[in-house]
């Protein structure tokens, strides 16, 4: 997912061939298929009370399944207990069962997502598993040649599935296996005649998929498709992967290439992988540090996927769509948008899928589900202006929008380069601890006004966020979004105070 997430979208909206129908002409493949909401718990894990509410809301919004990625929030046991989060306690076994009970009571199936090859940072960061890395400086990629690595992955899968007895499908990740082939064992393996990176990837994934088939014969196995994209149909067909996995094509761009995605899906079909999924995004795919979700961007992404679904041949058995909501780009990156700021986007995207476009009826359904009086496809900022929203977390979303407006204001961002600071309190002045007292008063007055206003709003955000998330999430979010803007102003105030005090003492001594 990284490559697409980091890509700056500068292309104009794709023009597709005339023979590819528009979404309104045929949307049955996605409107009637499974609609999975991706619940990424590797950052900002909701408190159980809030988790219960949003699971019910997923059902109200039109979802019929949850793709749940626990990562370090799963209560691993035995040797794997080290994988549990140190920042906040993982969900207990009882809570994992409770999550499923709530979901199934609302008609939502649960599909666990457990990374098995790439994006294993939460596993390979631990020194005890260092030797299992493909290369020492890449924490995300497993060495496919070490038997202990396969054993570790299979034990992770076993523990997760043991707590999910009702699940009929499992997602094994397998995306963005960076540095594959760069390890010494892989380099040696690749010297064999006819061996290449594609076969190396396929041999490992086939081994994992066969292991799952042996222990869970009736379980459907899903995997991300990006590592398959450059392979030929024959390469995939010859790998024994056919009949073992179902590829999930992901593309989060609002201007995704419709024709190219159709071509990819047709290639997988010709390789024997007729059962396929697609994956869109309702949050967490704009920039790595995005705080406020752009609803329009994500609705556009779903409109493009509807066009893809409408252009598929009958031979492709489209199982459904996963609406991804990444909470981090990977285990070690910063937090993306919190769920309360993304529910407007999620609701709009789900209703777009159900109705084939964001019709008036779709808008009415969003209003009904979110308890809001006025809503459209525009950004959540609209909701902070006189709305009557009633869903849990909306107050937090409104306050965050207000806070971000402060932090992103030109005045605060440019304060250090303002005339007074650059002219009378430059780095030289700060180093020598000299300042014009009259100008210092002006700088202090302005800086204090900004700092106090932000600190007051941060207190509101913290109080609301603590109701929904653990204290560690609040601390991380504030440090991530507020500190970089506030600290320079606080430093200026501190340095001015020091300079004024030194000057006062100097005057007294003379």
Q: What amino acid positions are annotated as catalytic residues?
A: 176
What's the token pair of residue 54?
């949003």
CA 16 to CA 365: how far, in whole Å?
30
Place of tokens 């780095």: 427
Q: What share of the chain is helix, strand, coil (3-state, %, to 5)?
A: 55, 10, 40
DSSP state of 371: T
Cα–chain center distance at 221? 21
The CA distances from residue 213 to 123, 148, 159, 208, 317, in Å, are 24, 19, 16, 9, 21
The CA distances from residue 461 to 179, 397, 438, 465, 471, in Å, are 40, 9, 35, 6, 12
- Residue among 422, 487, 423, 427 nearest 454 (CA): 487
Q: What are phi and psi of 208, to 5 degrees?
A: -65, -45
Instruction: Report yes or no: 274 and 347 within 8 Å, Cβ to Cβ.
Output: no
Q: Residue 322 pairs with which residues in a beta bridge?
A: 36, 279
DSSP 97-124: HHHHHHHHHTT-EEEEB--SSS--HHHH
Return the ∠ at Cα 401 (arms to 2 and 330), rounded to 5°. Answer: 20
- Measured distance between the N- and C-terminal CA atoms of the chain, rounded to whole angstroms: 66
Cα–chain center distance at 297? 15
- Burial zone of 146 (CB within 10 Å; 0-12 exposed, 13-18 middle, 19+ buried): middle
CA 13 to CA 172: how far, in whole Å?
32
Return the ∠ at Cα 229 (arms to 4 and 320), rounded to 5°. Answer: 75
Instruction: Report yes or no: 45 and 470 within 8 Å, Cβ to Cβ.
Output: yes
Instruction: Report yes or no: 415 and 447 within 8 Å, Cβ to Cβ.
Output: yes
Q: 65-69 and 246-250 as β-strands: parallel, antiparallel, unpaired?
A: unpaired
CA 107 to CA 50: how far, in whole Å?
19
Instruction: Report yes or no: 158 and 176 within 8 Å, Cβ to Cβ.
Output: no
């Amino acid at each position: 997912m990284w490559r697409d997430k980091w890509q700056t979208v500068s292309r104009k909206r794709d023009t597709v061939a005339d023979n590819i129908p528009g979404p309104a002409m045929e949307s049955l493949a996605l409107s009637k298929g499974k609609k999975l909401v991706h619940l990424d718990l590797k950052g900002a894990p909701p408190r159980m009370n809030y988790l219960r509410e949003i699971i019910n809301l997923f059902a109200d919004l039109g979802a019929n399944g949850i793709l749940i990625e626990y990562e370090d929030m799963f209560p691993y046991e035995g040797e794997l207990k080290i994988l549990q989060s140190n920042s906040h306690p993982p969900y207990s076994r009882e809570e994992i069962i409770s999550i499923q009970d709530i979901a199934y009571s609302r008609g939502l199936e649960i599909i666990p997502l457990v990374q098995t090859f790439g994006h294993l940072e939460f596993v390979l960061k631990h020194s005890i598993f260092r030797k299992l890395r493909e290369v020492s400086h890449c924490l995300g990629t497993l060495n496919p040649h070490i038997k202990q690595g396969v054993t570790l992955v299979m034990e992770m899968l076993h523990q997760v599935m043991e707590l999910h007895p009702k699940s009929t499908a499992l997602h094994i990740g397998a995306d963005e296996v960076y540095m594959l082939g760069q390890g010494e064992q892989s380099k040696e393996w690749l010297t064999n005649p006819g061996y290449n990176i594609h076969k190396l990837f396929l041999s490992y994934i086939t081994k994992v998929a066969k292991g799952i088939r042996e222990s869970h014969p009736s379980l459907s196995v899903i995997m991300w498709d990006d590592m398959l994209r450059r392979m030929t149909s024959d390469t995939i067909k010859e790998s024994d992967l056919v009949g073992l996995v179902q590829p999930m094509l992901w593309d989060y761009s609002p201007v995704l290439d419709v024709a190219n995605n159709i071509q990819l899906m047709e290639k997988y079909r010709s390789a024997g992988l007729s059962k396929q999924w697609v994956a869109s995004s309702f949050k967490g795919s704009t920039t790595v540090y995005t705080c406020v979700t752009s609803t329009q961007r994500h609705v556009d992404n779903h409109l493009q996927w509807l066009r893809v679904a409408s252009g598929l041949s009958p031979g492709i058995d489209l199982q459904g769509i996963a609406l991804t909501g990444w909470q981090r780009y990977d285990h070690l990156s910063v937090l993306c948008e919190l769920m309360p700021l993304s529910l407007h986007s999620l609701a709009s995207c789900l209703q777009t899928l159900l109705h084939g476009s964001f019709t008036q009826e779709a808008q009415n359904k969003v209003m009904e589900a979110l308890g809001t009086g006025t809503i459209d496809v525009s950004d959540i900022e609209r909701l902070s202006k006189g709305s009557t929203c009633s869903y849990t977390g909306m107050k937090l979303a409104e306050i965050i929008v207000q806070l971000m407006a402060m932090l992103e204001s030109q005045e605060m961002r440019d304060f250090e380069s303002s005339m007074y600071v650059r002219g009378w309190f430059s780095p030289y002045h700060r180093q020598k601890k000299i300042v014009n007292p009259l100008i210092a008063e002006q700088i202090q007055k302005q800086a204090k006004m900004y700092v106090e206003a932000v600190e007051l709003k941060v207190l509101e955000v913290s109080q609301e966020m603590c109701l929904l998330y653990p204290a560690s999430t609040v601390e991380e979010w504030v440090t991530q979004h507020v500190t970089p803007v506030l600290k320079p102003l606080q430093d200026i105030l501190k340095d001015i105070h020091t300079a004024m005090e030194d000057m006062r003492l100097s005057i007294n001594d003379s």
